[in-house]
């Protein structure tokens, strides 16, 4: 009970006072029972959306076609979904219709897995378990509710969801559920790209992601998230097994854990032919990744694939750091090792360590002069030459950071302009 903020008690009381029932459902209950910090708290209710709208002054119909509204209540945004049963799934993606029901038990039956079908009634905090979810949480099992094959046929996204929960929780998939996932695997090809993307990102963020990725390869759905990934698990296996031992990316660096893992899988797909890095752009756009995600993923991929200099000297070390563009060189080495690519020697790592501490110029913005100053001091009208001159200065400063002072840079710039 102490995990449930008091505002939710008051919220459910409002329903009770009006003669309705509102219970907490879904992932938060699973997390509470597991002793984890719950994510979002969602409510389910026997009140219909119209009735919820009459109960509270500020209600946004966020998913009204599925019976979901968002209520603003004491500065919280609370999602409330009317108890429902889903109609036929003729396209295997979305129910053709949903109908509301007064029965919580029916609502729980339409959910995907037993561990996701627990509810908590307030104020007594009694757990409602219609499907054996508590026992499955206890034995760490992911089990489809009802007939597994039918449930995956209704909505094949549930196949990715099962893998996502196993990646997060490290649970086993119950044998009949696993067999049905394999049989219905082709169904994921009909699923909307953004739905798969969201599950895939969550899967890759899980502590047990490696296992889940191998599983996805085994049931032949990995190519819906990574282009042309080898069914040859000999390459995939060491990569996936090394996911867990990788250090966590620091918050200030570009690239979250899922992005490093994803970039490494993408590296397998393009390793044979580096020209394919350009095709990836299209692939990721089609899979509905945001512009920011595409840019971080490709940046991380390029960093992983960048050749490590063979000689452990200071200038190659600086050039390499510049080439990595702030991607963490230690993480790069970890993932290169998993891919079977050559990694930096110990001496090189020492150099990378001291040089990255000292600071590297990554872009013209890091130079001690800017384009306007260049144009003024060289007494030339601004033009495309400014960008070229700055890149040339940047190259020199990467090699020789001590020269990053206005005086030295302007002397270089005069030399550059003279030879032009």
Point out which span in 151-159, 317-325, 348-356, 371-379 binds ligand ATP (CB under 6 A). 151-159
Q: Does 155 bind ligand ATP (CB under 6 A)?
A: yes
Q: Which of ligand ATP, Mg ion, none binds 224 (CB below 5-8 Å, type-dependent)? A: none
The nearest distance, CB 81 to Mg ion, in angstroms, is 11
Residue 403, token pair as written in the block: 């020269």
Measured between alpha carbons, how far is 288 from 280 in angstroms, rounded to an integer? 12
> Between residue 40 and residue 99, which ones bind Mg ion under the rule CB under 5 A?
40
Residue 82, token pair as written in the block: 């009317």
User: Which residue has the closest beta carbon to Mg ion?
Assistant: 27
> Between residue 334 and residue 373, which ones bind ligand ATP under the rule CB under 6 A?
none
Query: What's the alpha-carbon Rg for the chain, to the nearest Å?
Result: 27
Query: Residue 36 or 399: which CB sits closer to ligand ATP?
Result: 36
Measured between alpha carbons, how far is 43 from 310 in angstroms, rounded to an integer? 59
Distances, alpha carbon 397 to alpha carbons 68, 312, 348, in Å: 57, 19, 20
The nearest distance, CB 144 to Mg ion, in angstroms, is 18
Q: Which of Mg ion, ligand ATP, none binds 116 (CB below 5-8 Å, type-dependent)? A: ligand ATP
Q: Which of ligand ATP, Mg ion, none binds 112 (CB below 5-8 Å, type-dependent)? A: ligand ATP
Point out which span in 150-158, 300-308, 348-356, 365-373 binds ligand ATP (CB under 6 A). 150-158
The nearest distance, CB 196 to ligand ATP, in angstroms, is 12
41 within 8 A of 4, measured Cβ to Cβ: yes
Q: Which of ligand ATP, Mg ion, none binds 157 (CB below 5-8 Å, type-dependent)? A: ligand ATP
3-class DSSP assignment, residue 359: coil
The nearest distance, CB 39 to Mg ion, in angstroms, is 5
In our burial notation (b when 16+ CB lie closer than 10 A, e otherwise), range 202-228 reads bbbbbebbbbbbbbbbebebbebbbbe
Query: Residue 160 or 243: which CB sits closer to Mg ion?
Result: 160
Measured between alpha carbons, how far is 380 from 376 in angstroms, rounded to an integer? 7
> Between residue 111 and residue 140, which ones bind ligand ATP under the rule CB under 6 A?
111-112, 116-117
The nearest distance, CB 171 to ligand ATP, in angstroms, is 13
> Between residue 12 and residue 31, which ones bind Mg ion under the rule CB under 5 A?
27
Cβ neighbours around 199 below 10 Å, total:
23
The nearest distance, CB 244 to ligand ATP, in angstroms, is 20
Task: Taking each helix axis as running N to C, give the angle between helix 157-169 and helix 209-218, from 0 to 180 degrees, rounded to the nearest 10.
Answer: 150
The nearest distance, CB 113 to ligand ATP, in angstroms, is 7
Measured between alpha carbons, how far is 223 from 67 in angstroms, rounded to an integer? 34
Q: Does 174 bind ligand ATP (CB under 6 A)?
A: no
**Angular region, 140: left φ>0, alpha ψ -120 to 50, beta rest:** left
Measured between alpha carbons, how far is 420 from 414 in angstroms, rounded to an integer? 10
Query: Residue 116 or 264: which CB sits closer to Mg ion?
Result: 116
Distances, alpha carbon 345 to alpha carbons 185, 317, 333, 340, 349, in Å: 43, 11, 10, 14, 6
Query: Residue 44 or 351: which CB sits closer to Mg ion?
Result: 44
Residues that bind ligand ATP (CB under 6 A): 26-27, 39, 111-112, 116-117, 155, 157-158, 202
């Amino acid at each position: 009970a102490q995990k449930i903020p008091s505002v939710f008690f008051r919220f459910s009381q409002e329903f009770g006072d009006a003669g309705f029932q509102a219970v907490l459902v879904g992932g938060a209950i699973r997390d509470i029972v597991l002793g984890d910090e719950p994510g979002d708290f969602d409510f389910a209710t026997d009140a219909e959306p119209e009735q919820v709208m009459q109960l509270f002054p500020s209600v946004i119909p966020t998913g009204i076609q599925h019976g979901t509204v968002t209520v603003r209540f004491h500065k919280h945004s609370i999602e409330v979904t009317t108890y429902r049963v889903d109609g036929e799934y003729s396209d295997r993606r979305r129910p053709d219709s949903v109908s509301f029901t007064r029965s919580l038990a029916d609502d729980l039956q339409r959910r995907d897995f037993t561990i996701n079908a627990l509810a908590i009634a307030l104020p007594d905090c009694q757990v409602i378990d219609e499907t054996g979810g508590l026992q499955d949480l206890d034995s760490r099992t992911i089990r489809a509710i009802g007939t597994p094959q039918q449930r995956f046929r209704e909505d094949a996204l549930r196949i990715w969801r099962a893998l996502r929960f196993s990646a997060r929780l490290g649970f086993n998939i119950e044998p009949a559920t696993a067999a049905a996932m394999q049989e219905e695997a082709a169904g994921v090809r009909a699923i909307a790209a953004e739905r798969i993307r969201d599950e895939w990102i969550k899967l890759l963020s899980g502590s047990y992601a490696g296992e889940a990725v191998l599983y996805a390869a085994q049931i032949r759905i990995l190519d819906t998230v990574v282009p042309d990934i080898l069914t040859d698990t000999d390459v995939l296996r060491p990569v996936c097994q090394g996911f867990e031992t990788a250090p966590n990316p620091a918050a200030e660096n570009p690239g979250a854990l899922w992005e490093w893992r994803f970039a490494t899988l993408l590296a397998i797909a393009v390793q044979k032919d580096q020209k394919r890095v350009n095709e990836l752009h299209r692939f990721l756009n089609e899979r509905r990744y945001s512009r920011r995600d595409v840019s971080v993923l490709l940046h991380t991929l390029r960093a992983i694939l960048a050749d490590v200099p063979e000689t452990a000297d200071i200038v190659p070390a600086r050039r390499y750091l510049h080439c990595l563009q702030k991607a963490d060189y230690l993480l790069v080495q970890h993932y290169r090792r998993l891919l079977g690519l050559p990694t930096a020697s110990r001496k090189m790592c020492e150099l990378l360590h001291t040089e990255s501490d000292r600071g590297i110029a990554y872009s013209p913005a890091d130079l001690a002069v800017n384009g306007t100053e260049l144009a003024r001091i060289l007494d030339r009208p601004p033009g495309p030459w400014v960008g070229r001159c700055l890149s040339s200065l940047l190259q020199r400063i990467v090699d020789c950071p001590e020269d990053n002072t206005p005086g030295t840079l302007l002397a270089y710039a005069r030399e550059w302009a003279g030879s032009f």
